[in-house]
Chains A and B, each alone.
Chain A
Amino acid sequence: MYNQTEIIKDTSELGAEGELVINMGPQHPATHGVLHLVVTLNGETIKKIEPHLGYIHRSIEKMCESLTYRQFIYVTSRMDYLSSHINNLGCALLVEKGMAIEVPDRAKYIRVILSELTRIASHELWLGAMAMDLGAFTPFFYAFREREMITDIMEDTCGARLTMNYIVPGGLMYDIHPDFQKKVKAFITQFKSKVTEYEDLVTNNVIFQSRTKGVGILSAEDAISYGCTGPVARASGVSCDIRKLYPYEVYDKVEFDEVLETAGDSFARYIVRVKEMNQSIRIIEQLIDNIPEGDFVGKTKNVLKLPKGEFYTRVETARGEFGVYIVSEGGTTPHRIKFRSPGFSNLSVLNHIAAGSKIGDLMASMGTLDLVIPDIDR
Chain B
Amino acid sequence: MFSLEGITTNVQDWLFMKFNPTLALAMECVIVILLAISLFAILGLVLVLMERKVAAHIQIRLGPNRVGPGGMFQTVADTLKLIMKEGLVPDLADKFLFNLAPFVVMMVGMLLLAPIAFAKNFQIWDINIGVLYISSVSSLSVIGILMAGWASNNKYSLLGAMRSGAQIVSYELSAGFAVLTIVVLTGSLQLSEIVNAQQNGWWIFKGHIPAVIAFVLYIIAVTAETNRAPFDLAEAESELTAGFHTEYSGMRFALFFLAEYINIFIVCAIGATLFFGGWMPLHIGNWEAFNHIMDYIPSSVWFMGKTFFLIFLIMWFRWTFPRLRVDQLLNLEWKYLLPISLFNLLLVAVIAILGWHF
A226 at interface, CB cutoff 8 A: no
Q: Are B322 and A207 in contact (CB under 8 A)?
A: yes
B287-322 residues at the A interface, CB under 8 angstroms: 319-322
Q: Are B60 and A29 in contact (CB under 8 A)?
A: no
**Which residues of the other chain, A, contact B327 by a CB distance below 8 angstroms?**
44, 358
- What mask results when residues 141 to 174 of chain B are scored 1 for a CB within 8 Å of chain A, else 0? 0000000001001011011000100000000000
Q: Are A135 and B60 in contact (CB under 8 A)?
A: no
In the bound complex, CA of A7 to CA of B161 (Å): 15
A75 at interface, CB cutoff 8 A: no
Q: How large is the interface on B (under 10, 10 to 19, 20 to 34, 35 or more residues)?
A: 35 or more
Q: Are A205 and B321 in contact (CB under 8 A)?
A: yes
- What mask results when residues 349 to 378 of chain A are scored 1 for a CB within 8 Å of chain B, else 0? 000000000111111000000000000000
A4 at interface, CB cutoff 8 A: yes
Q: Are A136 and B321 in contact (CB under 8 A)?
A: yes
Out of B58, B94, B323, which one reaches A138, CB within 8 Å? B58
**Which residues of the other chain, B, contact A137 by a CB distance below 8 angstroms?**
55, 59, 319
In the bound complex, CA of A24 to CA of B153 (Å): 16
**Which residues of the other chain, A, contact B58 by a CB distance below 8 angstroms?**
138
Q: Are B322 and A363 in contact (CB under 8 A)?
A: no
**Which residues of the other chain, B, contact A140 by a CB distance below 8 angstroms?**
59
**Which residues of the other chain, A, contact B59 by a CB distance below 8 angstroms?**
137-138, 140-142
Of the candidates B163, B230, B241, B321, the one having the most CB atoms from chain A within 10 angstroms of its own CB is: B321
The B interface, classified by DSSP as helix, strand, loop or mixed, is: loop
Out of A135, A205, A208, which one reaches B236, CB within 8 Å? A135
**Which residues of the other chain, B, contact A28 by a CB distance below 8 angstroms?**
241
In the bound complex, CA of A138 to CA of B58 (Å): 7
Q: Identify which of A126-134, A184-192, A307-315, A323-331 touches chain B.
A: A126-134
Out of B93, B158, B238, which one reaches A132, CB within 8 Å? B238
**Which residues of the other chain, B, contact A134 by a CB distance below 8 angstroms?**
238, 322-323
CB proximity of B146 to chain A, nearest CB, Å: 13
A145 at interface, CB cutoff 8 A: yes
B61 at interface, CB cutoff 8 A: yes
CB proximity of A216 to chain B, nearest CB, Å: 12
Count of interface residues, chain A, beta-carbon cutoff 8 Å: 36
- What mask results when residues 215 to 233 of chain B are scored 1 for a CB within 8 Å of chain A, else 0? 0000000000000011011
Q: Are B241 and A29 in contact (CB under 8 A)?
A: yes
In the bound complex, CA of A363 to CA of B326 (Å): 13
Known contacts A20-B155, A363-B239; is-contact A138 B319 (Cβ 8 Å): yes
Q: Are B238 and A361 in contact (CB under 8 A)?
A: no
Out of A1, A20, A205, which one reaches B322, CB within 8 Å? A205
B325 at interface, CB cutoff 8 A: yes
A211 at interface, CB cutoff 8 A: yes
Residue of A nearest to B153 (CB): A7
CB proximity of A31 to chain B, nearest CB, Å: 10
